[in-house]
Amino acid sequence: RKCDVVNRGISGYNTRWAKLILPRLITESTGADTIAAVTIFFGANDSALKELNPKQHVPLEEYAANLKSMVQYLKSVDITADKIILITPPPLQESAWEKACLAKGDKLNRSNATTGQYAQACVQVARECGTDVLDLWTLMQKNQDFSSYLSDGLHLSAKGNSFLAAQLWSRLENKLSALPSLLPYWRDVDYTNPEASLL
CB neighbours (10 Å) of residue 19?
A: 19
Contact 85, 174 (CB under 8 A): no
**Alpha-helical regions (H) of the chain:** 15-25, 60-76, 94-103, 112-129, 136-142, 158-177, 194-198
* Per-residue model confidence (pLDDT) at position 3: 86
pLDDT of residue 28: 86
Give the confidence band of 31 by pLDDT, cuts at 50, 70, 90: confident
Instruction: Starting at the earlier edge strand, list the strands of the sheet with 84-87.
Output: 38-41, 84-87, 132-134
Segment 72-119, tens digit of pLDDT:
999 999 999 999 999 999 999 999 999 999 999 999 999 999 999 999
Instruction: List the Cα angle 132/70/10 in 5-degree steps.
Output: 95
Q: How far is 7 from 1, CA to CA, in rounded Å?
A: 17
Q: How many CB atoms lie within 10 A of CB 162?
A: 12
Q: What is the CATH number of domain 15-197?
A: 3.40.50.1110
pLDDT in tens, 136-166: 999 999 977 899 999 999 999 999 999 999 9
Nearest 5°: CA angle at 11, between 56 and 28?
Answer: 95
**In a 3-state reduction of DSSP, which class is residue 108?**
coil
Average pLDDT over residues 179-184: 87
Reported as half-sphere exposure (CB side, CA atoms, 13 A), residue 112 has a value of: 19
Cα-Cα-Cα-Cα torsion 49, 85, 76, 129, nearest 10 degrees, comes to: -80
Rounded Cα gap, residues 50 and 114, in angstroms: 11
Q: Could you tell me which residues are beta bridge partners of residue 71?
A: none
